[in-house]
Every structure is written in C-alpha cells, then in structure tokens.
C-alpha cells in the first residue's frame, strides 16, 4: 500500500480486486475515470455499464437489477448521488430496501477547485435520514477497501463516501478490521475525545499530537460508520473524558456532530464542540486554503478542544 492514496482510488481498486470473489455489477454515470470504477471496467467489461450523464436513471436501473436478485454498485460524485438522484434512491432503493451500494466520490468541501456547486457537504445528513440505509465514510485507503467488502457482505442499501485527494494511509492492511456499526479507537486519552470521520481523521490524529505537547491527553476515534453509529464507544468516551469534539468535512447541521449529539443527549449528556462546515456553501480554492478558511484544520481542532476543557 502506498503512503498516500485517495479513498476513491482505493474504491476502484477494491471493486476490481473483489470482482472475482463476489458476484455484482457496477454502474457509473459517465465519470468512471474520476470515480475510479474504470479499474473494474477494465477487468470485467461485461459487468460494467456506463449509464451516461443520467444519475436518476442509473439509480432506478440499479434498483431494477437488484430487485431481480443481483447486487449492484452505482457510482458518481456525491453531489449527483445524494443530491440529484435523491428521489430515486429514496423511493426505488431505500423504500423496498434493495441490495444497492452507492459509491459517492468527491465528497466534502476539501475536494478543492470544483467549487460550491460540486462540494457536497450534505450527503451524510441526507443519506443517514433514509430508513434502513447504512452510511460509511472511510478515513484512508485501507479502510476504504474494507468498507467496500463489508458492503458486499451486507444485505441492503449502503452509501459510501469517498474523497478526491490523496490522503495519508493510517491503518495497516495486514491487521486492520472493519465492522459496520463499530468505530475504531486510534489513540487513548482521558481529557477530551476527538471523534472524526473520513479524511478528517488524519487531521484529528495530528491535533491529538499537538494537544499532547500541551499536556492534554486526547482520545481519537474514527467513526467511519455514521449509521449505524457506535453508541457504546461514544457513551464510554463521554463517561471517561470531559467532553467531545466532532470533526467532519461536512455541514455541522445533520452530519457527524449531529449524530454524536443525538447519542449523548439521550444517554449521557456532555459538552460537545463541532468542527466542520458552519452551515455555508464552499468555494473554489486550493485544499490547504479551504481548510484554513473554513476551519477544517489542526489549529481549529486544537482550539475547540482547549475551549471545551477551559469551560
């Protein structure tokens, strides 16, 4: 495994690798080079279908195929999946609970220059409200591959969010295990808990190192499974630390921060700070500039952790 790789590339690699082991079809909305499903197409051309720039039709077609007993992966940008094709996903996939796996790539604001129209910051919120839907957002390439195989072994609809940019590999492919509904503790700590999702997990790990230099022991949790969420690990953190900072490249309304808040308010209320997009649209820019402008960086995570502890 490379030291850096985008989760979308890992998605394409996983489909191509697992095509021999599992029986499934792949549909794409004329973006296979960007979503990386072309890797599967190159190996299994008879099992791949380019549906053109017609995402709604693609989701309906995926539902029709799945209704006949075949597992289907439907891939496009997160904005076009969760946004443009929402009605078809809701009524044709979620409502009959069909075995369709949706790969939404280019998720989040940190995809860079594509700008606000393509920077999907609502997909986790939209998809987790659909009854029966599993929602997963891997942190690195190793977890992305594990997520794809977990989706294949799950009977029912799954939404997977993948990023555009290369990100550092966190996990060891030889030892990492993933389970739907379970989170991963990357670092133990007794002062504050940082719960992150997707590509922001690595930023959370870096923030914990900064906090450690400041004498603060931060627990870091990778909440790849947004739904079902690991309530047990959240409650344990709430009881054992002084509060929780959630970190996501997503609108703070309805995303990871909201999901974690729903758990603690019912089970064990604690202080929470939400690091994410503050209910605004994105704009075109370089990834580091966007991260600094929107507060999706190490400095903002550290500041929120210290602010929580000071109060």
Domains and CATH numbers, the chain: 4-168 (3.40.50.970), 184-310 (3.40.50.920)
20 is catalytic: no
What pLDDT tens digit does each residue of the chain (311 aa) get?
569 999 999 999 999 999 999 999 999 999 999 999 999 999 999 999 999 999 999 999 999 999 999 999 999 999 999 999 999 999 999 999 999 999 999 999 999 888 889 999 999 999 999 999 999 999 999 999 999 999 999 999 999 999 999 999 999 999 999 999 999 999 999 999 999 999 999 999 999 999 999 999 999 999 999 999 999 999 999 999 999 999 999 999 999 999 999 999 999 999 999 999 999 999 999 999 999 999 999 999 999 999 999 98
Which is catalytic among the residues 17, 20, 55, 188? 55
| Burial class (CB within 10 angstroms; exposed 0-12, middle 13-18, buried 19+) of 288 | exposed
The C-alpha angle with vertex 63 and arms to 94 and 91, in degrees rounded to 5, equals 40
Q: Which two tokens stand for residue 208?
A: 């914990």
Which backbone phi and psi does 128 adopt, to 5 degrees? -75, -15
Whether 158 contacts 99, CB under 8 Å = no
Report which of 80, 106, 155, 79 is spatially closest to residue 8, judged by C-alpha positions: 106
The C-alpha angle with vertex 243 and arms to 238 and 244, in degrees rounded to 5, equals 85
């Amino acid at each position: 495994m490379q030291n850096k790789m985008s989760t979308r590339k890992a998605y394409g690699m996983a489909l191509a690798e697992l095509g021999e082991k599992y029986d499934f079809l792949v549909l794409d909305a004329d973006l296979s080079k960007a979503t990386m499903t072309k890797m599967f197409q190159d190996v299994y051309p008879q099992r791949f279908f380019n549906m053109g720039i017609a995402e709604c039709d693609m989701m309906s077609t995926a539902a029709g195929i799945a209704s006949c007993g075949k597992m289907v992966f439907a891939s496009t940008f997160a904005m076009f999946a969760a946004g443009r094709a929402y009605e078809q996903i809701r009524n044709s996939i979620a409502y009959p609970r069909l075995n369709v796996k949706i790969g939404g790539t280019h998720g989040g604001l940190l995809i860079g220059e594509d700008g606000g129209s393509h920077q999907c910051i609502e997909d986790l919120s939209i998809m987790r409200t659909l009854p029966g839907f599993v929602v997963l957002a891997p942190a690195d390439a190793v977890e992305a591959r594990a997520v794809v195989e977990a989706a294949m072994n799950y009977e029912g609809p799954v939404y997977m969010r993948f990023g555009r940019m290369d990100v550092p590999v966190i996990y060891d492919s030889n030892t990492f295990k993933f389970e739907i509904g379970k989170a991963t503790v990357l670092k133990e700590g007794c002062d504050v808990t940082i719960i992150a999702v997707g590509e922001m997990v690595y930023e959370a790990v870096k923030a914990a190192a900064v906090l450690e230099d400041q004498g603060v022991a931060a627990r870091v949790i990778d909440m790849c499974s947004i739904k079902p969420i690991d309530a047990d690990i959240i409650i344990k953190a709430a009881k054992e630390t002084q509060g929780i900072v959630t970190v996501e490249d997503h609108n703070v309304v309805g995303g990871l921060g909201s999901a974690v808040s729903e758990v603690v308010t019912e089970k064990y209320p604690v202080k929470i700070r939400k690091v994410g997009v503050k209910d605004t649209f994105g704009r075109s820019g370089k990834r580091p500039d966007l991260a600094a402008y929107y507060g999706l960086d190490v400095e903002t995570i550290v500041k929120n952790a210290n602010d929580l502890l000071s109060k």
